[in-house]
Structure 1
Amino acid sequence: MKFLQLFGRLKSSVIGMVHLKALPGTPGSVLPVTQILEAACEEAELYRRAGIDGLIIENMNDIPYTLHVGPEITASMATICAAVRQTCPRLPLGVQVLACANQQALAVALAAGLDFIRAESFVFSHVADEGIVNACAGDILRYRKAVGAEHVQIFADVKKKHSSHALTADVSVSDTAKAAEFFLADGVILTGVSTGQEADPGDLREVQSSVRIPVLIGSGVTLENVDKYIDASALIIGSHFKKSGDWRNSLEYDKVASFMEKINKLRV
C-alpha cells in the first residue's frame, strides 16, 4: 500500500499541523511571505525534533475562507512548502489549501515535492461556511493524471467539519466513505463538528469495517483521549499541540514530545 510505504506503518501515525500565518491578499495578512516561510520552517523543525511522523501545511489563518483562491495563495504556499520540504527532507509532508482548493493543493504538492493532500468535498455536495460545495473527485483525479502527480496521495474528508450535511442526511458516514473509496481516494478522514472537536469513535469503527483504504482522524485527538483512536491509520493533530489548545497559538514542543512518547508506547 502507498500509505504503508509513506509512513512505514498502517496504524497510528501522527501528523502535525503547520498553520501558516495569513497569506498575501487575505484580510489578516500583515507579514511578507519570507517571514511566514521562516516561521513555518521553525515550526516544522520543532515537530521533527519531537518525533512527529508527518506534517500538513495549511493556510488556516486566511479567514474568512473563499471558494475562489487566487494565484497569490498558490504561489505563496508552493514557495513555503518547498522550504519546509528542505527543512524536513525525509518526513512525509502534505498540504491543504482552504477552502476546497484541491487542484491548487495538488499543484503545490507537485511543485514542492510533497507526498499527499487533504481534500475537501471529494464526494457528495454539502453546505460549508464558505457556501455550497460540490463533489470534485472526477475533476481532481483527472487533473492529477494530467499533471503527472499520481504519486501524490489524496486523503479525503467525509462528512467534514464546519459544514451542514442535511443535503445528504440519508447517506451514512460509512456509505460516504465507501463512495470515496469507489471514487479512488487514497484514504478518508473523519472529524468532529468543528476544529478541535472529537470525532466519534463509533464512526471510526463503522468506517473501518466498511472500506479497505486508510481511515484517518482529522480533529479532536489529545493526549487524554488518544486511546480511543489508536486503531486509526493516522491522527491529524493541530489544536492540541498549540498553547492553550488553540490552533491560533504557537506550537508547544513539550506537548508534541509528550504525545509522541505516549503513542510510541501504545503502538509497540
Structure 2
Amino acid sequence: MLISCLPVFNQQTCKVIGMIHVDALPGTPRYTGNWKQTIEKAIYEANLYKKHQLDAVLIENMHDIPYVPERLLGAEIVACMTRLGQAVRDVMPKETPCGVQVLACGNKQALAIAKASQLQFIRSEGFVFGHVADEGYTDACAGDLLRYRKLIDAEDVLILTDLKKKHSSHAITADVSLLETAHAAEFFLTDGIIITGTATGHAASPEDLQQLSGRVKVPLIIGSGVTKDNIGSYFKDAQAIIIGSHFKRNGNWLEEISEEAVNDFMQKICQLRQTK
C-alpha cells in the first residue's frame, strides 16, 4: 500500500526522479580528500534539478567502488550520506520527494539516513529472493527491513524495491518469473517496484514493463537506461523513471552532469505530458 504522504508516485503522469551520484566518500578507494566539494557538488546538482522541475531526486554513493556488502559498510558512510541527504533536502521544495540508496544493499542504513535527514523514500536491493551480485551473495531482506522501519518509527519512508536487479546473476531463481517476483514483493509489502536492465545505463525491457503493467497494485518504476529517445516506450505504463547516466556528459555515469541533457529530457517529458 502506498503511504499517503507521497502520492506523487501513484498519479497518472509518469514522474521523473533525478539521480545525484555523490563523489566517493571518505574511507573508500576513490576518495580524494574533497569532502567539502562533495557537499557543494550535491547541492549544485539538487539546484539544477530544482531549476528544471524534476519530480523527485535520489542520492546514491555510486562512486564508492568497489562496493562492499551491508555488514562491511562503515559508520562514516552513514554519517556522510546523512549530511548529504540533509543538504539536498534543504535545497529541494518541501513537496518534492527526496530519497537515498546505499550501495551495496545498505537498506537499513538508508532507512536510518532517510529518518535523520527527513527523506521520503529509499531504493532497496534484495527485497525478495536471494541472488548473486558482483559484491557477493545478496539475501532477501523484506522481513528484517520492514521490522527495522517499524522499530525506528520511519513508516512514512517508502521502500521502493528492485526486482531481479542489474549487475547480478539470477540463475538460482530462473524458475521464478518477473511477475511472480513482483507478486512476492507486493505480498511482502513493497511500496513500489523498480525494473532495470542488466547494468547501469542499460535500458530496461519494455516487455518487462508490459508484463507487469496492470497486474500489480503498487507503482512501477523504470530504474535504468531511460533516454530522451526511448522514453516513449515507458511513459504510458510507468509511474516513474529514474534517470542517472542519461543526464551525464556522453551518457556516462562517471562524467559530470550536463544541464543541456537535463533540459532536453525535461522538454521531451513536457511534450509527452501535453499529448497524453
| Amino acid in structure 2 at the alignment position of 1:124 | F
Secondary structure at the counterpart of residue 127 of structure 1? strand
1:70 to 63, 70, 74: 74
User: In 1, are the aligned partners of 2:124 and 2:160 still within 8 Å (CA)?
Assistant: yes
With the length of structure 2 as denominator, give the TM-score of the two structures: 0.94
The alignment's C-alpha RMSD in Å is 1.2
Instruction: Give a deviation string over 1:8-58, Cα, whole Å, max 9, x none.
Output: 734410001000000000000013432211110001111111121111000
Q: What residue in structure 2 maps to residue 117 of structure 1?
A: 122
1:213 to 218, 227, 236: 218
1:52-71 correspondence to structure 2 within 5 Å:
52-67=54-69, 68-71=72-75
C-alpha distance in 1 between matches for 2:180 and 2:39:
40
Which runs of 5 or more structure 2 residues have no equivalent in the other structure?
none
1:1-268 correspondence to structure 2 within 5 Å:
1-2=2-3, 5-7=7-9, 9-67=11-69, 68-90=72-94, 91-230=96-235, 231-268=237-274
Q: How many residues are aligned here?
A: 268
1:7, CA displacement in angstroms? 4.9
C-alpha distance in 2 between matches for 1:28 and 1:101:
19
C-alpha distance in 1 between matches for 2:149 and 2:13:
26
| Amino acid in structure 2 at the alignment position of 1:133 | T
C-alpha distance in 2 between matches for 1:266 and 1:166:
38
User: In 1, are the aligned partners of 2:21 and 2:59 still within 8 Å (CA)?
Assistant: yes
With the length of structure 1 as denominator, give the TM-score of the two structures: 0.97
**What percent of counterpart residues are identical?**
53
Secondary structure at the counterpart of residue 268 of structure 2? helix
C-alpha distance in 2 between matches for 1:33 and 1:108:
18
| Amino acid in structure 2 at the alignment position of 1:5 | P
C-alpha distance in 1 between matches for 2:211 and 2:190:
18
